[in-house]
Amino acid sequence: MRPADWIVPDWPASSRVRAFITTRAGGVSAGPYATFNLGDLTADDPDAVRANKARLDTLLPGPPRWLRQVHGARVVHADDLTSAVQADAAYTATPGVVCAVKIADCMPVLIADAAGTVVAVAHAGWRGLAAGVLENTVAALPVAPAALMAYLGPAIGPSAFEVGDEVRAAFCAVDAAAAEAFRPLRPGKWLADLFRLGRERLAHCGVTHVHGGGLCTYSNPERFYSHRRNPVTGRMAALIWIGERGA
């Protein structure tokens, strides 16, 4: 049974679209990784991570197609993955194929078309957003952007995400209106709103049905891992797939 604390997107997706986002609840990891750490590259007990992944697998129609995330903009077809490849987004139109990304402050973006024929997930931190990971994901899907909807999962919020001038400049160089997503903090430092930046990027490529946003990983230590808050921490996951008809 899925822990009640996990997040099920509140969006008007087709009943065929299945998705959820894990939290810290429901696992066996201890210490700074308590309890449902899914991060293989952390210093957590490997047996605990394997046990957590095994629990996750019981809730899915097949093994998640994990990625080697690099804060980039590459998108891959999940059906083709036999092992983790370097990418930050994946999509599928095949029922039962589970697209997945790991998170601990970066924003997970779930995407589906209204008919439930294609789904995707993107790992969108500021570097990936600035590089175009959302635009690339939308472009990879075999449906018109107007037919898509998106859900913004938990990420470091606009009251906690301190960045430098270079981050603001990276977004404003593409769209001057992005300046509105940055609030001055002190000379050379800004508070950035990842949720707003994500919505703006999606709108620019034709996706206007955007839900979620607002859950801050940094300010909810009991529920979420946050690398910015605690550099030694675990990883959560955002997962999406198409269910079999009648299932």
Say which DSSP state 115 is in.
T
| Cβ neighbour number for residue 40 with a 10 Å cutoff | 14
- State pTM to two decimals: 0.97
At 82, is the pLDDT very low, low, confident or very high (cuts 50, 70, 90)? confident
Residue-wise pLDDT tens digits, 119-142: 999 999 999 999 999 999 999 999
pLDDT digits (tens, 9 = 90+) for 26-81: 999 999 999 999 999 999 999 999 999 999 999 999 999 999 999 999 999 999 99
Average pLDDT over residues 200-225: 98
Tokens linked to 106: 């970066």
Structural domains in the chain, CATH included, are 17-157+216-242 (3.60.140.10)
Average pLDDT, rounded, for the chain: 97
Q: Look at residue 153 in the predicted model and tell me its pLDDT.
A: 99
Residue 171 contacts residue 161 (beta carbons within 8 Å): no
pLDDT-based confidence at residue 244 (cuts at 50, 70, 90):
confident
Under 8 Å between Cβ of 219 and 162: no
pLDDT of residue 173: 97
CA distance 91 to 93: 7
* Confidence bin at 246 (pLDDT 50/70/90): low
At 152-170, the pLDDT tens digits run: 999 999 999 999 999 999 9
pLDDT at residue 114 is higher than 90: yes
- Interval 178-194 mean pLDDT: 98
- Calculate what percentage of the chain has a pLDDT beyond 90: 97
Structure tokens at 233: 């921490």
For residue 247, pLDDT over 60 is answered with no
The torsion angles phi and psi of 53, rounded to 5 degrees, stand at -65, -35
